[in-house]
């Protein structure tokens, strides 16, 4: 009955191996030559990155059980254009996750550039702005948005999928960092000491 949800979940998981390969810049260049290896890595990055987020959206909007937090559930925000109502508490929770998530993700893309975000290939280490808060602001923003949008659409399976998505994002982030250390060595090691991976510090030391 909910086949599209599970197809999207499997598709998200299937994009992880090519994503891993896309960030192995030195290995690809060694195997195929600098120019061809770089191009292969960029293509893999584009396909896996956009595929990951396209199917992630599918997880949010695919048919699945709907839920309602048993508080103010009779109050709702109407969306007349699509004849859709959102429980008021869900709308509040969505905004509290979606707004900061969108902000930090967009800041991260602007500071690293869209090309780096799409191809997973960095020419330098960015340590300012959103990257001074966490090392992966785009992934943090996406996770926050995931929770917010799951509440927006009252998507039960999507919300239950959150822990697995956290694991996938952690594995992707760790793989990217392993390759960044190979490429930038001590510069990235020093940066790791200054900014947390995904969870911002409440107080800076």
The predicted-structure confidence for 127-159, as pLDDT tens digits, reads as follows 999 999 999 999 999 999 999 999 999 999 999
DSSP string of 190-204? HHHHHS-SSS--SS-
Residue 91, pLDDT score: 87
Q: Name the DSSP letter for residue 23.
A: T
Average pLDDT value for the chain: 90
Domain ranges of the chain: 3-194
pTM of this structure: 0.90
Confidence of residue 105 (pLDDT cuts 50, 70, 90): very high
The predicted-structure confidence for 40-51, as pLDDT tens digits, reads as follows 999 999 999 999
Q: Which residues make Cβ contacts (< 8 Å) with residue 45, sequence separation at least 6?
A: 19, 22, 23, 118, 119, 120, 121
**Inter-residue contact 198 to 170 (CB < 8 Å):** yes
Q: Name the DSSP letter for residue 2.
A: -
The fold adopted by the segment(s) 3-194 is: 1.20.120
């Amino acid at each position: 009955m909910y086949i599209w949800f599970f197809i999207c979940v499997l598709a998200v998981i299937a994009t992880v191996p090519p994503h891993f390969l896309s960030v192995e810049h030195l290995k690809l260049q060694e195997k195929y030559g600098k120019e061809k290896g770089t191009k292969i890595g960029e293509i893999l990055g584009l396909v896996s990155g956009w595929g990951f987020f396209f199917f992630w959206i599918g997880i949010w909007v695919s048919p699945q059980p709907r839920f309602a937090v048993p508080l103010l559930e009779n109050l709702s925000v109407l969306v007349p254009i699509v004849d859709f109502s959102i429980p008021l508490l869900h709308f509040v929770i969505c905004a509290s996750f979606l707004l900061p998530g969108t902000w930090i993700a967009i800041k991260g893309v602007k500071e690293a550039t869209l090309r780096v975000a799409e191809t997973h290939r960095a020419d330098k280490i960015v340590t300012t702005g959103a990257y001074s808060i966490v090392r992966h602001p785009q992934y943090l923003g996406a996770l926050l948005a995931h929770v917010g949008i799951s509440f927006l659409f009252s998507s039960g399976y999507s919300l239950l999928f959150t822990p697995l998505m956290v694991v996938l994002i952690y594995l992707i982030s760790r793989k990217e960092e392993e390759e960044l250390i190979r490429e930038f060595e001590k510069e990235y090691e020093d940066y790791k000491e200054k900014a947390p991976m995904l969870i911002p510090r409440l107080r800076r030391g």
